[in-house]
Amino acid sequence: MPEIYNKVLKIRKKYLQKVSVKSSTLKRPIYMKSYDEKFDGEICKAIVITLKTRGCAWALSEFGGCTVCGYIYDAALKPVPEDLLLRQFSYAVREIERTNRPVILKIFTSGSFFDEEEIPPPVRHKILEIASKIDNVREVVVETRPEFVTSDVLTECTKILGDKILEVAIGLESSNDDIRMTCFNKGFSWKTFLSAAKIIKENYCRLKVYIFLKPPFLTEMEAIKDAIRSTRDAISAGADTISYNLSTIHRGTLLEYLWKRGEYRPPWLWSAILVLQKVSAIVDLEKTKILCDPVAAGKTRGPHNCGSCDRYVVSILRKFSLSQNPEVLENIKFCRCINAWKAFLHAESYSFSQTVNAYETLT
């Protein structure tokens, strides 16, 4: 059986050749941004910094990485000297210093924060130490694959951070092993995730789980159901925050390949609304934070509706994420593309494949 990773690897290699020519600076982070987010009842300033590291170990492996992820093309692809990593981080520090509001500091790499090939332990210590010394930092969020989560590392991190909360985010995508393995080529099992979740909780860290909407090869409805199911499973595994990742088509990914063949359409924003509606009915929003902040919404490469209601629907998603108030999701203004979306769901109930809609491109 030609495993899916063969294809992923092929696409990956081809595209890596393309991008490797333009090697960019290692002195600046890949990305930095700030926005408002609710944390323990108060609205904070969230600062996101994405450090340029060697890149995700999974994407660099002979398994080619995840089907939906193109972050590796932003990575350095070679070890980044420690001083440069710290220099990148200093951008975030400066950003924090500019505000006196409470801050949630999100330190991302295009991979795993706990992977020592990406962030060597001394750098990790240093970064956390700096963060621990800034008063208005309430919480530090890092992302990692579950296999890098060990009790030793977490004990050490929490020790450095002191009274600041550490949230560890894991890209679970789906709690269904078949979907995670076959559709995402994610390479870790539910069991691996569970043991990581356990360690995180035992160390009094918070657990954030990313859930992907919609996975490739699923119909829109299957994806909605899977997102809801995965939310339940993740919460029962101890998740404190659920963040829905509405798909965008990254370059050089299998997802892009499918998208170009007409076999994948990013989700409708209505689907995200539906997921939030269903989830907020079954989840205790006091205990679990539910986030959905779509990227590239309204674009053909991002989650989108008909084009005329996209902004409005995104504003609802943001409003909900910020307020955690389910009433935001009620009485949503009607757009006639709701019927188109439903007709999509209906069509896929016969075919179980991505419905190619000739009219969509016309309107």
Partner 1 sequence: MTGIFIKQHCGPAKIGVLENDTETPALMINLENNLASRVYKNETLRKTLRKFQKHLLSSSTWPPPEEKSELINSNVIIFPPPFRLRTPFILEEKSGTGLKEELKRYIERICELKSSLNKKVLIACCLPADFFRTSKNQIIREVLKEANIDIATISGMESVANNQRRLVEILVNARKTIPADIAIHASVISLPTHAPLLVYMGVDILDCAYPLIAAAYDVYLHERGELPLQNMTVLSCTCPICSKYDSVSELKNLPPDARFEILSAHNLIMLLKIINETRDAIKRKTIWELLENHVYSLPVTTAAMRHLLLSHQEFLEKYTPVVTSRRVICTSALSYYRPEVVRFRERVKERYMPPSNVALVILLPCSARKPYSKSRTHKMFREAIKCGAGPKFHLIHEVIITSPLGIVPRELEMTFPAAHYDVPVTGHWDREEMEIAISALVNYFQKIGGKIGIIAHVENAYKEIVEEAISQLGLEAIFTVKNSESVTSPSALKRLETTVREMLEGHELKGGDAKDRLVQDYRKIAEYQFGADVAIDLINETSVFREEGNRGVRVLTEGKFVAFLEYATGLYKLSLHGAEVLLLKNKYCVFVKDIPRTEDITADTVIRACNEIRPHDEVAIILDKTVIGIGQANMCGQEMEEASKGVAVKLRLMKPNIKSRQ
Residues that bind partner 1 (CB under 8 A): 1-2, 4, 6-7, 178-179, 182-183, 217-218, 222, 258, 261-263, 334, 336-337, 339-340, 342-347, 349-359, 362-363
Q: Is 71 in the site for ligand SF4 (CB under 6 A)?
A: yes
Q: Which of 197, 335, 344, 354 binds Zn ion (CB under 5 A)?
A: 335
Q: Is 216 in the site for ligand SF4 (CB under 6 A)?
A: no
**Identity of the residue, 47 or 218, whose beta carbon is nearer to partner 1 in the bound complex:** 218
Q: Both tokens of residue 244? A: 């829905």
Contact indicator for 66, 11 with CB cutoff of 8 Å: no
Measure Cα distances from 313 to 84, 236, 283, 309 in Å.
40, 29, 22, 6
The size of the interface with ligand SF4 (CB under 6 A), counted in residues, is 11
Q: Is 305 in the site for Zn ion (CB under 5 A)?
A: yes
Q: Coil, strand, or helix at residue 128? A: helix
Q: In whole angstroms, what is the distance from residue 220 CA to residue 207 CA? A: 27
Q: In whole angstroms, what is the distance from residue 180 CA to residue 172 CA? A: 8
The entry of ligand SF4, Zn ion, partner 1, none near residue 309 (CB within 5 to 8 angstroms by kind) is Zn ion
Q: Containing H/E element for 142?
A: strand 137-143
Least Å distance, CB 187 to ligand SF4, is 8
Per-residue HEC secondary structure of 282-299 comes to HCCCCCCEEEECCCCCCC
Q: Which of 34, 110, 230, 247 binds ligand SF4 (CB under 6 A)?
A: 110
Q: Both tokens of residue 163? A: 């009274």
Q: Which of 45, 145, 208, 304 binds ligand SF4 (CB under 6 A)?
A: 145
Q: Which of 4, 9, 11, 69 binds ligand SF4 (CB under 6 A)?
A: 69
Contact indicator for 32, 49 with CB cutoff of 8 Å: yes
Q: Which residues bind Zn ion (CB under 5 A)?
A: 305-306, 309, 335, 337
